[in-house]
Amino acid sequence: MNDPLVSKVKLKALEEIIAAARETIHRHRRRFLQRNLRPCPDNCKGVSMLGREIIGCTNCGSPSGDKCIREDKFVPVFTKEELAQQFAEQLRNPEILLREYRDVTVFLWVLGAFDKQKKTLDETIVERVEQSENKSRKMAASGDGAVTPVREHPTGGNNSEAETRTGRDPEDFNR
């Protein structure tokens, strides 16, 4: 079959796919950390709960679960390293990947990370994507001109690339 559209399709190099997957995972990791390190009673060790409902915070005296009154009294439930580990574990759980991170799931599927018979994730592919990210961060930190520096974003919600480009809050994406 000589389909004229097939001749116009250009496949991406494996390195380009891995780089795009790495950027997507980095964006999701940053949002996960921002959401879980945000000073509010929901993320604070001093949270006051009535059943499953958050009624305030004993550390800052906040009467609601939405806003921390005194951010200097905020004590996060998890450290940044613990949250990063939780995110890494989520990337290895196919159910969470499919429910929360569909775009990452597609990248991993394209890279061949899913085994149809076992319904598990090929750890070597996930590790390869993560190693590429770690390698690029090390190269960026060493000042080698081969890789553009990886920008770390502050935990503030107003500095994201997506908001700068589109004028929309980054939480609006992927919904």
Q: Quick one: average pLDDT of 155-173?
A: 45
Confidence of residue 99 (pLDDT cuts 50, 70, 90): very high
pLDDT at 22: 94
- Higher local confidence (pLDDT), 36 or 169: 36
Q: CA distances (Å), 81 to each of 23, 69, 85, 114, in order? A: 19, 25, 6, 27
Cα–Cα dist 54/33, whole Å: 21
Q: What is the pLDDT of residue 135?
A: 61
DSSP element (H, E) containing 102: helix 102-110
The domain locations on the chain are 12-38+78-147+154-160, 40-73
- Give 125-162 pLDDT, tens digit per residue: 778 887 766 665 554 444 444 433 333 334 444 444 44
Q: How wide is the angle at C-alpha 89 spanned by C-alphas 51 and 153, nearest 5°? A: 90
The CA distances from residue 11 to 5, 106, 110, in Å, are 13, 16, 12
pTM above 0.75, yes or no: no
